[in-house]
């Protein structure tokens, strides 16, 4: 078949058939499209009476001729089939003598429900409605004001004859005073919302309960701040303050898309005051509503009693079938009182009998959960159309795909047949001509081709669907759309059948499938703009030029094909692309975008070409989860800000692969990615595999500038820092999807794998380019534009330090210099305190950094390997010393550190410090050498003069004998100088024994002969090897001795002068002889002097 298929139904017939309310439309359409309801759960006091779990069992049980009372509740989510089952019971009710009232939802209002009750009761009961009351003739705003005023009045203690359970709370917090404030009456919209729902919400109520909730209280709390301190709320000030605070918390949860019911259920402990007020308001709601609407609860009870008394006289039963109890809110408690009243339960002996009452009421799980316990206990039979342990219930009749298809094909057959044919079929059936509903497919001339392309079930063609297409449409329905599920019979009608069948002309015009097939009820990830895999999307863009045709092809691939595949395959039925046969493309008038030959024949059970791996390592997964749970950093205001988690219904229920694909395909420059912390970890994991040497950047610096915390996907940064940001560009999206697919997608073909690998490689190349630009911004370049070598700078700083410390020399082998750079520093052979100030200053400037510099340098040149056989330990670390060796050689030749950038850029502080130290060395090295040489030379010359051509040991011994001898002859003379000498001399003895004197003498001889290196660095190395400490200490000791001798000499002269006038010449001579003997040189006799 090459020609496109046209529709086999009319739009007006589809509109007539697709009535989404079960109680609308006619019986012919209802019965032709009816899918038996079965597989539900049953409960209730008399649940054992059910002989099965299908609709017929429910009918047989409730319609039993002997039954005098039943209060049956049909529980299910909106659209789950409650109304359908109730109408089916009505259509098939077997006893004509029963007064059967089917009350539909109508407009959802209480007045509409009462109007139906009046219209469907026999005419003789119409006057009874006159006693129910009369609605007040006011505007909606006026009714809302009356409602709020009445609520405020009912909150006053003592308002009711019998005190309500919360009267003590109302007395403590005075909510009546707060609600009576004019600002509340003007600004609070909740009363209007409640009234709007009770009046049907314009026909769009959809089983919503008209009760106050936490969002209403948040609105009330937001109105409280301006009222602080006002005398008008003196008694309720504490209530206002509490509501104001709890409103902040409610708002935080609301911003995370929590529903009011979810909050009240899962976080009730955070809203004690708000929930107490909600309970008080809802407890009094019906009384206030009845006053506004002018309806009497007692009048309703009286009406039903009078009806039942009249029917009892006729010996008839009353069968009351209510589609939705929420339509009766405002009188629902009174109505339930009526429904649970058993005719067999007589009161006073004289009380008139009432007829049996069999009632079936549709309720939502939300309403059922709020039903009072005493009412629940009086439910005789309960039909639960779904199950749900957490969140919304499912629908029993839609759990199996086969049942879903039965539902769909009945509607497809009915739409093709049209209402006229269906009415004829029902008329014949009522005349006893049993026959199945009409099926035009039986006589269709294109049946064989249509069935072959699109499939059939029970003789009904599935066109324009295929089994696969309908399954994808169904799976696209949202499971929880703000508290309601679309995976219901009503959801299928409204979101799948309606859109696809209401525009049949689009098939003939070649515009199907159009954008109308994707309603808001679909999950975003299943829509055509996100569902297609990058490879498939690329093929569409390359093969189809017209934008409209591209969009049509994408929608076809998103639902009728497999949007995750892009291979042309073949089997006995011909070619298929993306899992869908060529005939389907032709039937929709779409071009064939597959190849002319099958790339591969799909095996029955293909072997996966990849092994599943976690997207992130396990440790990273845990860290990402923890990070995702952390609240964003906030500046704490005067009142704490609440950080709320996401509600459970928004938590992912998809596979890891599906969830990540949805997130990455939704990411755009305008739409931040969901689960950003996990994706940032994935990006960091990819960057870790990039060799930083490709950028000319050592790995430690790369890891600091491109750390895990400093890489972000566009839209995920929460602070204004200089992050590396991956743009939300197609190449980034495709590459990230390729990465997760290559780890998780076991169904991909070889072609898919090749495409993903190319996409990943492309992303890694583009990522490297972006990283290089980012690094260029962070790392300054040299003046000539070349890259700064941090390895050279760090190594040369440490080498200069090693030279000044004397642990190596420029003349040493390069390997020795390399070892000096990389080895931890031991005790230096040089004493730095004896060095010149510039020498000491440069060593001091590196003292606090050399360990960090060395550790960083080791990491820079490490290859993260060992020289052991396994590479896992037991050997020394292997390094790349190429840059470092070059730096050593260059410094040996020039004496300078390599050039460094003029500015520090945005590198870490240690690198900025290294740049400064390198600059400092280049600027000060000559000054260091000149100053140190001048100091050593000056000290050597001074010491040489003091030695008086003697060696160090001889000179110091002469000084000691002189000072000691004189001190003995002149006790107390120059005592401080003598003591200083003795201490200096004592300290030097051990050093002298080790050769300090000879080393110093050698230095003096060398300087006198001027046998010094010419090159600066050689001179520095030579200076570093010289005994500066020995020279300084010996010179200091010699100078100390000279000062002591001088002081003693002066003291002796004073003594001689003082004795000159009183002593004899012989006495003076005796003193002189004694002094001479004291200072006599070691080994010289008195006679030899």
Average pLDDT over residues 469-481: 92
- Token pair in block for residue 1085: 């006799």
Pairing state between β 724-726 and 69-75: unpaired
> Measured between alpha carbons, how far is 257 from 36 in angstroms, rounded to an integer?
37
- Token pair in block for residue 971: 């006790």
pLDDT, tens digit (0-9, with 9 covering 90-100), for 998-1016? 988 888 888 887 777 888 8
Three-class SS of 693-704: HHHCCCHHHHHH
> Measured between alpha carbons, how far is 26 from 135 in angstroms, rounded to an integer?
33
| Cross-strand pairs, 568 | 577
Reported as type and span, the H/E element at residue 1044 is helix 1028-1059
Of the pLDDT bands very low, low, confident and very high (cuts 50, 70, 90), residue 334 is confident
If 0-12 CB within 10 Å is exposed, 13-18 middle and 19+ buried, where does residue 45 land? middle
966 close to 994: Cβ distance less than 8 angstroms: no
pLDDT above 80: residue 606: no
pLDDT, tens digit (0-9, with 9 covering 90-100), for 81-138? 898 999 999 999 999 999 999 887 655 566 777 788 888 888 888 887 776 656 667 7
Residue 833 CA to chain centroid, in angstroms? 58
Q: Does one domain contain both 72 and 145?
A: no
pLDDT above 50: residue 1017: yes
pLDDT of residue 872: 44
pLDDT of residue 196: 83
Three-class SS of 147-174: HHHHHHHHCCCCCCCCCCCCHHHHHHHC
**Among the residues of 779-881, which ranges form H helices?**
790-805, 814-822, 837-847, 850-861
Task: Classify residue 766: in a domain, yes or no.
Answer: yes
pLDDT, tens digit (0-9, with 9 covering 90-100), for 30-83? 899 999 999 999 999 999 999 999 999 999 999 999 999 999 999 998 888 898
Task: Classify residue 20: in a domain, yes or no.
Answer: no
Q: Does one domain contain both 171 and 287?
A: yes
Residues 6 or more apart whose Cβ sits within 8 Å of residue 648: 262, 266, 390, 391
3-class SS shares of the chain: helix, strand, coil, % to 5: 55, 5, 35
* C-alpha distances in Å from residue 795, one per residue of 381, 817, 907: 87, 10, 18
Cis amide bond preceding 113, omega within 30 = no
Q: Does one domain contain both 999 and 1063?
A: yes
pLDDT of residue 673: 92
Q: Does one domain contain both 967 and 1007?
A: yes
If 0-12 CB within 10 Å is exposed, 13-18 middle and 19+ buried, where does residue 434 land? exposed
pLDDT of residue 637: 42
pLDDT above 50: residue 638: no
> Measured between alpha carbons, how far is 174 from 170 in angstroms, rounded to an integer?
5
> Measured between alpha carbons, how far is 1031 from 78 in angstroms, rounded to an integer?
101
Cis amide bond preceding 587, omega within 30 = no
> Measured between alpha carbons, how far is 830 from 408 in angstroms, rounded to an integer?
95
Cα torsion through 310, 314, 318, 319, rounded to 10: -160
pLDDT of residue 542: 94
- Token pair in block for residue 890: 């260059």
Q: Which pairs with CB-CB distance under 8 Å and at least 24 residues apart come from 808-811?
A: 809/1021, 809/1024, 809/1025, 810/892, 810/1017, 810/1018, 810/1021, 811/1018, 811/1021
Domain encompassing residue 815: 790-924
Q: Does one domain contain both 1037 and 989?
A: yes
Task: Classify residue 867: in a domain, yes or no.
Answer: yes
Final residue in a domain of this structure, among 721, 745, 778? 778
Three-class SS of 446-512: CHHHHHHHHCEECCEECCCCCHHHHHHHHHHECCCCCCCCCCCHHHHHHHHHHHHHCCCHHHHCCCC
pLDDT, tens digit (0-9, with 9 covering 90-100), for 239-281? 999 999 999 999 999 888 888 888 888 898 999 999 999 999 9
Buried b (16+ CB within 10 A) or exposed e, 48-84: ebbeeeebebbbebbbeeeeebbbbbbbbbbbbbbbb
> Measured between alpha carbons, how far is 817 from 821 in angstroms, rounded to an integer?
6
Residue 694 — φ and ψ, nearest 5°?
-65, -25
Task: Classify residue 117: in a domain, yes or no.
Answer: yes
Q: What is the CA radius of gyration of the chain?
A: 49
pLDDT, tens digit (0-9, with 9 covering 90-100), for 909-962? 999 999 999 999 999 999 998 998 899 889 988 988 998 888 988 888 888 888
Residue closest to 140 by CA, chosen among 63, 197, 210, 97: 197
Residue closest to 739 by CA, chosen among 809, 676, 660, 826: 660
Residue 1081 — φ and ψ, nearest 5°?
-60, 150
Q: What 3-state DSSP class applies to 669?
A: coil
Final residue in a domain of this structure, among 257, 292, 327? 292
Higher pLDDT, 58 or 200: 58
> What total number of domains does the chain contain?
5
Q: Does one domain contain both 625 and 758?
A: yes
As a whole-number percent, the residues of the chain with pLDDT over 90 amount to 50
Q: Does one domain contain both 282 and 311?
A: no
Q: What 3-state DSSP class applies to 651?
A: coil
pLDDT above 60: residue 789: yes
pLDDT of residue 1085: 40
pLDDT above 60: residue 867: no
Pairing state between β 877-879 and 862-866: antiparallel
> Measured between alpha carbons, how far is 54 from 37 in angstroms, rounded to an integer?
6
Average pLDDT over residues 459-466: 96
> Measured between alpha carbons, how far is 211 from 207 in angstroms, rounded to an integer?
12
pLDDT above 90: residue 222: yes
Residue 523 — φ and ψ, nearest 5°?
-65, 140
What DSSP designation does 668 have?
Answer: B
> Measured between alpha carbons, how far is 437 from 81 in angstroms, rounded to an integer?
21
pLDDT above 90: residue 495: yes
* C-alpha distances in Å from residue 598, one per residue of 451, 535, 559, 582, 601: 24, 17, 22, 12, 7
pLDDT of residue 633: 38
User: How large is the greatest C-alpha to C-alpha distance in the chain, in angstroms?
Assistant: 174
**DSSP sequence for 854-896:** HHHHHHHHEEEEESSSSSSSSSPEEE--HHHHHHHHHHHHHSS
Task: Classify residue 686: in a domain, yes or no.
Answer: yes
Q: Does one domain contain both 1071 and 965?
A: yes
209 close to 363: Cβ distance less than 8 angstroms: no
Final residue in a domain of this structure, among 865, 890, 924? 924
What DSSP designation does 592 have?
Answer: P
Q: Does one domain contain both 190 and 239?
A: yes
> Measured between alpha carbons, how far is 841 from 826 in angstroms, rounded to an integer?
20
Q: Does one domain contain both 893 and 958?
A: no
CA torsion sign for 239, 241, 247, 252 is negative
Q: At what angle do helices 730-744 and 656-666 cross, to 10 degrees?
A: 180
- Token pair in block for residue 658: 């599906």
Buried b (16+ CB within 10 A) or exposed e, 768-804: eebbeebbeebbbeeeeeeebbbbbbbbbbbbbbbbb
The CATH number assigned to the domain holding 375 equals 3.40.50.300
Task: Classify residue 262: in a domain, yes or no.
Answer: yes
pLDDT above 70: residue 625: no
Average pLDDT over residues 611-632: 63
Tell which phi-psi region holds residue 424, choosing left (phi > 0), alpha (psi between -120 and 50) or beta. Answer: alpha
pLDDT of residue 1068: 59
> Measured between alpha carbons, how far is 383 from 758 in angstroms, rounded to an integer?
56
Q: Does one domain contain both 954 and 811?
A: no
Of the ranges 161-175, 202-216, 462-476, 711-725, which one carries the lowest mean pLDDT score? 202-216
Task: Classify residue 674: in a domain, yes or no.
Answer: yes
342 close to 125: Cβ distance less than 8 angstroms: no
Buried b (16+ CB within 10 A) or exposed e, 363-375: bbbbbbeebeeeb
Chain mean pLDDT for the chain: 86
pLDDT, tens digit (0-9, with 9 covering 90-100), for 968-1002? 878 878 888 888 888 888 888 888 888 988 988 88
Task: Classify residue 765: in a domain, yes or no.
Answer: yes
What DSSP designation does 901 have?
Answer: -
Q: What 3-state DSSP class applies to 138?
A: coil
Residues in the chain: 1089
pLDDT, tens digit (0-9, with 9 covering 90-100), for 379-433? 999 999 988 765 678 888 888 888 899 999 999 999 999 999 999 999 998 888 8
Three-class SS of 537-569: HHHHHHHCCCHHHHHHHHHHHHHCCCCCCCCEE
> Measured between alpha carbons, how far is 807 from 826 in angstroms, rounded to an integer?
9
568 close to 577: Cβ distance less than 8 angstroms: yes
Q: Does one domain contain both 54 and 198?
A: no
């Amino acid at each position: 078949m090459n020609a496109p298929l046209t529709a086999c139904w009319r739009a007006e017939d589809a509109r007539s058939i697709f009535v989404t309310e079960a109680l609308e439309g006619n019986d012919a359409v209802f019965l032709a499209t009816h899918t038996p309801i079965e597989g539900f759960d049953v409960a209730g006091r008399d649940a054992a009476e059910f002989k099965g779990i299908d609709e017929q069992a429910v009918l047989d049980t409730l319609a039993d001729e002997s039954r005098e009372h039943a209060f049956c509740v049909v529980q299910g989510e909106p659209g789950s089939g409650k109304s359908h089952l109730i109408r089916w019971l009505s259509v098939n009710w077997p006893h004509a003598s029963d007064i059967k009232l089917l009350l539909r939802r109508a407009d959802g209002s209480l007045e509409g429900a009462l109007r139906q009750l009046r219209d469907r009761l026999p005419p003789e009961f119409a006057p009874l409605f006159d006693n129910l009351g009369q609605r007040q003739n006011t505007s909606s705003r006026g009714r809302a004001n009356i409602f709020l005023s009445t609520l405020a009045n009912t909150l006053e203690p003592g308002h009711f004859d019998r005190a309500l359970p919360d009267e003590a709370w109302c007395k403590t917090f005075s909510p009546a005073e707060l609600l009576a404030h004019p600002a509340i009456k003007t600004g609070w919209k909740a009363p209007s919302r409640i009234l709007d729902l009770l009046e049907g919400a314009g026909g769009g109520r959809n089983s919503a309960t008209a009760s106050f909730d936490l969002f209403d209280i948040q609105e009330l709390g937001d109105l409280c701040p301006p009222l602080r301190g006002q005398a008008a709320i003196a008694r309720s000030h504490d209530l206002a303050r509490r509501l104001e605070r709890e409103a902040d918390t409610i708002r935080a949860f609301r911003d995370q898309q929590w529903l009011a019911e979810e909050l009240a259920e899962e976080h009730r402990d955070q809203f004690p005051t708000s929930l107490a007020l909600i309970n008080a308001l809802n407890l009094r709601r019906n009384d206030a509503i009845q006053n506004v609407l002018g309806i009497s609860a007692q009048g309703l009870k009286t009406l039903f009693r009078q009806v039942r008394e009249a029917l009892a006289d006729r010996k008839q039963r009353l069968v009351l079938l209510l589609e939705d109890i929420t339509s009766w809110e405002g009188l629902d408690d009174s109505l339930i009182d009526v429904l649970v009243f058993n005719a067999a339960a007589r009161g006073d002996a004289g009380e008139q009998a009432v007829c049996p009452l069999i009632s079936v009421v549709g309720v939502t799980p939300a309403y059922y959960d709020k039903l009072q316990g005493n009412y629940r206990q009086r439910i005789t039979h309960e039909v639960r159309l779904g199950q749900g342990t957490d969140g919304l219930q499912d629908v029993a009749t839609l759990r199996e795909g086969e049942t879903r298809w039965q539902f769909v094909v009945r509607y497809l057959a009915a739409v093709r047949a049209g209402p006229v044919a269906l009415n004829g079929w029902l008329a014949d059936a009522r005349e006893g001509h049993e026959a199945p509903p009409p099926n035009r497919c039986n006589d269709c001339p294109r049946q064989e081709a249509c069935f072959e392309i699109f499939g059939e079930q029970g003789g009904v063609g599935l066109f324009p669907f295929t089994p696969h297409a309908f399954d994808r449409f169904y799976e696209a329905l949202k499971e929880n759309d703000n508290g309601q599920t679309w995976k219901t019979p009503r959801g299928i009608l409204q979101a799948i059948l309606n859109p696809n069948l209401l525009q049949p002309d689009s098939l003939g015009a070649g515009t199907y499938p159009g954008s109308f097939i994707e309603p808001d009820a679909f999950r975003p990830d299943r829509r055509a703009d996100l569902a297609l895999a990058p490879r498939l999307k690329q093929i569409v863009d390359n093969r189809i030029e017209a934008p409209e045709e591209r969009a049509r092809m994408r929608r076809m691939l998103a639902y009728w094909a497999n949007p995750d595949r892009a291979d042309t395959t073949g089997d006995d039925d011909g070619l298929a692309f993306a899992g869908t046969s060529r005939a389907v493309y032709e039937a929709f008038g779409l071009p064939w975008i597959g190849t002319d030959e099958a790339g591969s024949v799909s095996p029955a059970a293909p072997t996966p070409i990849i092994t599943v791996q976690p997207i992130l390592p396990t440790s990273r997964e845990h860290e990402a989860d923890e990070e995702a749970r952390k609240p964003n950093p906030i500046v704490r205001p005067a009142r704490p800000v609440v950080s709320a988690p996401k509600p459970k219904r928004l938590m992912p229920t998809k596979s890891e692969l599906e969830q990540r694909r949805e997130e990455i395909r939704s990411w755009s420059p305008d739409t931040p990615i969901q689960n950003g912390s996990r994706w940032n970890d994935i990006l960091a994991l990819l960057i870790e595999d990039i060799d930083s040497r490709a950028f000319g950047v050592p790995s430690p610096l790369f890891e600091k500038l491109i750390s895990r915390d400093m890489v972000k996907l566009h839209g995920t940064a929460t602070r204004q820092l200089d992050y590396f940001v991956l743009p939300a560009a197609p190449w980034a999206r495709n590459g990230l999807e390729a990465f997760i697919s290559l780890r998780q997608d076991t169904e991909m073909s070889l072609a898919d794998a090749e495409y993903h690998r190319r996409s990943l490689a492309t992303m890694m190349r583009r990522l490297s380019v972006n990283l290089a630009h980012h690094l260029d911004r962070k790392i300054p370049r040299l003046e000539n534009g070349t890259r700064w070598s941090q390895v050279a700078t760090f190594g040369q700083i440490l080498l200069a330090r090693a030279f000044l410390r004397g642990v190596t020399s420029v003349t040493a082998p390069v390997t020795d210099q390399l070892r000096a750079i990389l080895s931890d520093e031991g005790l230096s052979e040089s004493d730095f305190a004896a060095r010149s100030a510039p020498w000491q200053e440069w060593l001091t400037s590196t003292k606090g950094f050399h360990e960090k510099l060395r550790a960083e340098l080791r990491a820079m040149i490490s290859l993260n390997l060992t020289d052991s056989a396994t590479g896992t330990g037991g050997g020394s670390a292997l390094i790349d010393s190429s840059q470092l060796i070059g730096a050593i050689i260059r410094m040996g030749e020039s004496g300078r550190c390599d050039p460094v950038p003029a500015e520090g850029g945005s590198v870490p502080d240690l690198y900025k410090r290294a740049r400064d130290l390198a600059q400092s060395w280049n600027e000060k090295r000559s000054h260091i050498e000149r100053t140190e040489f001048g100091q050593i030379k000056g000290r050597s010359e001074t010491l040489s003069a003091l030695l008086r051509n003697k060696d160090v040991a001889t000179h110091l011994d002469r000084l000691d004998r002189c000072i000691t001898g004189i001190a003995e002859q002149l006790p107390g003379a120059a005592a401080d100088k003598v003591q200083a000498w003795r201490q200096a001399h004592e300290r030097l003895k051990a050093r002298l024994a080790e050769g300090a004197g000879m080393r110093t003498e050698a230095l003096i001889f060398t300087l006198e002969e001027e046998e010094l290196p010419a090159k600066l660095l050689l001179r520095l190395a030579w200076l570093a090897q010289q005994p500066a400490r020995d020279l300084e200490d010996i010179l200091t000791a010699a100078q100390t001795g000279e000062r002591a001798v001088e002081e003693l000499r002066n003291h002796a002269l004073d003594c001689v002068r003082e004795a000159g006038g009183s002593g004899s010449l012989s006495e003076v001579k005796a003193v002189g002889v004694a002094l001479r003997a004291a200072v006599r040189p070691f080994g010289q006799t008195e006679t030899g002097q």
